[in-house]
Amino acid sequence: MTMVFAERLREAMIDRGLKQVDLVRAAEERGVRMGKSHISQYVSGKTMPREDVLAFLAGELKVDAAWLRGEQPSPHAGADGKADGKPASDGDGSLPSPVPASTRTAPSGEASSSSDDDYPKRRRTFGKSRKLDNVLYDVRGPVADEAMRMEAAGTHILKLNIGNPAPFGFRTPDEVVYDMAHQLTETEGYSPSKGLFSARKAIMQYAQLKHIPNVTIEDIYTGNGVSELINLSLSALLDAGDEVLVPSPDYPLWTACVNLAGGAAVHYVCDEESEWYPDIADIRSKITDRTKAIVVINPNNPTGALYPREVLQEIVDVAREHQLIIFSDEIYDRLVMDGLEHVSIASMAPDLFCVTFSGLSKSHMIAGWRVGWMILSGNKRIARDYIEGITMLANMRMCSNVPAQSIVQTALGGHQSVNDYIVPGGRVRDQRDLVYEMLNDIPGISAVKPKAAFYIFPKIDVKRFNIRSDEKFALDLLHDKHILISHGGAFNWHKPDHFRVVYLPRMTMLRETMGDIADFFSDYWQA
Ligand code: PLP
């Protein structure tokens, strides 16, 4: 019955054009206790709702509660009694009148063979793939949707939810823009699928500077941002049930892509008490004979942590012991503060197969141009077949954006303007210090000082504010102060006690915003 209910619920939602977030919002407005986790369990067929919640859903979706419950066959049921239709509302919001039991419509997608021409044919509808059932990408999820709705209604929202430097006045270096313009007419055709020679040569030289071993020009693949390559590299590797160790909190694309590729993301904890470094004991405890790889995000989004050599060595030791691939996401490696040095983990693992990801979205403030790359290194012999799969997928998407590839050499060579942002007096560094101090001054909030990137992941004393849902907290802050942050759950952090702030706005704006957040917490009590 649960599965029939789930199927009918999904169908009715599609018919009404309602998303889970719409139903959650309606429930909140009507005082019905039904949160996001409840509705997602109903939709995936894990549980049935209580009667009052079921009645509420039936009312919102304008379908018959009995039909939705799945207890009685639909009036449109086929000869086998299996429901293939549902009573529809007559448009004024009232529930449908009974339909003669003899009336039949054809299953979804088929033309009706009804003998009763008075009865409307059932419309074919299209749902999303089941492959997306375990995929979550809440950084642009329900809270961001609500912010967009508010903006469309004329409210100004300060967005501290996406690491997108350009809207905050971080400008692309002039030379990079000039070179792109200069080469535009020469970059109209496809490039080789791995990328232009000049771009890959520059990335290869960058890999040399980072001491990444055994890298030839053939081991470099450019992509439409690191995002495309995360998806591509996992799709080429994983079979159903393969496990990949992913940090918690993580940049959620990693978890999403592991699951989308049919694998299972197994989260290892990063420990706030130890500067958010990966908990090696936890990593060890989560390894099974299905574990194929470990993902390291260093510098880290959302915590801003930078892992020292000793921590990286422990990860290499575990990977070596269990013969794991290391995927290292290093997109923030040029945004490191306090005079610290970023170490590429691949440089410490010449005997293992490593894939290192980076790009220009953050260091060159050109997130919109979509320039990323991945570097295969170390022991490539053990991954020959996998590399064939990677190349096949890279060929299938033809190539990455060619005008954007044409500036990689310019961007990686010569003066690195990003360096001016991360030293004392530089925007990123000063903004980091301000946000760190102002957040820690709020009673009930504490945050570890970020060492890199432009994120901070503060902890909330949930008892003090009665916080049980971090998503609700994010919505309340949005409604009250018009500030959009990302709740910790969006980063696969499984307690409701964290949120992420992107500290890209200028000092004046940040100071005002942090003041507003302090004001919000001064009397917040989650209802
Ligand atoms: N990896 C991490 C850790 C990120 O934070 C981001 C973007 O925020 C990406 C990858 C995606 O970057 P790109 O713009 O290159 O797709």
Residue 87 has a pLDDT of: 58
Beta strand 264-271 pairing with 243-248: parallel
| Atom nearest to 226 CA in ligand 1 | 15
Residue 434 has a pLDDT of: 97
* Ligand 1: residue whose CA is nearest its atom 5: 301
Report whether 34 contacts 24 (CB < 8 A).
Answer: yes
**DSSP of 76-111:** T--TTS---------SSSSPPPP--TT---PPTTSP
Interval 392-410 mean pLDDT: 95
What kind and span of H or E run contains 358?
strand 353-359
Tokens representing residue 414 in the block: 């010569």
pLDDT at 185 over 80: yes
Instruction: Give the pLDDT band (50/70/90) at residue 82.
Output: very low
Indicate if ligand 1 lies below 6 Å from the C-beta of 223: no
Give the list of residues 6+ apart from residue 360 with CB closer than 8 angstroms, or none.
366, 369, 371, 372, 407, 408, 411
The string of pLDDT tens digits covering residues 441-457 is 999 999 999 999 999 99
pLDDT at 93 over 50: no
pLDDT at 101 over 60: no
Tokens representing residue 239 in the block: 């079979």
The string of pLDDT tens digits covering residues 235-294 is 999 999 999 999 999 999 999 999 999 999 999 999 999 999 999 999 999 999 999 999
Interval 477-493 mean pLDDT: 95
Residue 85 has a pLDDT of: 46
Report whether 445 contacts 458 (CB < 8 A).
Answer: yes
When mean pLDDT is compared over 21-25, 68-72, 325-329, the highest value belongs to: 325-329
| Atom nearest to 227 CA in ligand 1 | 16
Give the mean pLDDT of the chain: 89
Amino acid at 288: T
Interval 99-121 mean pLDDT: 44
Indicate if ligand 1 lies below 6 Å from the C-beta of 372: yes
Task: Identify the sign of the CA torsion 156, 162, 164, 169.
Answer: positive
| Atom nearest to 228 CA in ligand 1 | 16
Q: How far apart are CA 329 and CA 337, in angstroms?
A: 18
Q: How far apart are CA 293 and CA 353, in angstroms?
A: 10
CA of 203 to the centre of ligand 1 (A): 17
**Cβ–Cβ contacts within 10 Å for residue 210, how many?**
19
Amino acid at 143: V
Indicate if ligand 1 lies below 6 Å from the C-beta of 361: yes
**DSSP of 463-505:** HHHT-S-HHHHHHHHHHHH-EE-EEGGGGT--SS-BEEEE--S
CA of 227 to the centre of ligand 1 (A): 6
CA 521 vs CA 142, 315, 474: distances in Å: 22, 38, 12
The string of pLDDT tens digits covering residues 495-524 is 999 999 999 999 999 999 999 999 999 999
Residue 119 has a pLDDT of: 54
CA of 254 to the centre of ligand 1 (A): 10
Which range has the worst mean pLDDT, 179-183, 310-314, 381-385? 179-183
Q: Where are the beta strands (DSSP E) in 108-242?
A: 158-159, 220-224
Instruction: Give the pLDDT band (50/70/90) at residue 325.
Output: very high
Mutate which of 231, 301, 457 for ligand 1 pocket (most atoms within 8 A of beta carbon)? 301
pLDDT at 90 over 90: no
Report whether 413 contacts 206 (CB < 8 A).
Answer: no
**DSSP of 154-173:** T---EE-SS---GGGTPPPP
pLDDT at 100 over 60: no
Listed as own residue / partner, the contacts of 509-512 with beta carbons closer than 8 Å and 24 or more positions apart are 509/158, 510/431, 510/434, 510/435, 510/438, 511/434, 511/438
Mutate which of 139, 161, 164, 253 for ligand 1 pocket (most atoms within 8 A of beta carbon)? 253
Residue 16 has a pLDDT of: 85
Instruction: Give the pLDDT band (50/70/90) at residue 73.
Output: low
Residue 418 has a pLDDT of: 85
Indicate if ligand 1 lies below 6 Å from the C-beta of 374: no
Interval 25-34 mean pLDDT: 86
- Going by C-alpha positions, the residue among 315, 298, 317 that lies closest to residue 357 is 298
Residue 120 has a pLDDT of: 59
Q: How far apart are CA 116 and CA 506, in angstroms?
A: 67
Residue 299 has a pLDDT of: 97
Residue 98 has a pLDDT of: 38
CA of 31 to the centre of ligand 1 (A): 38
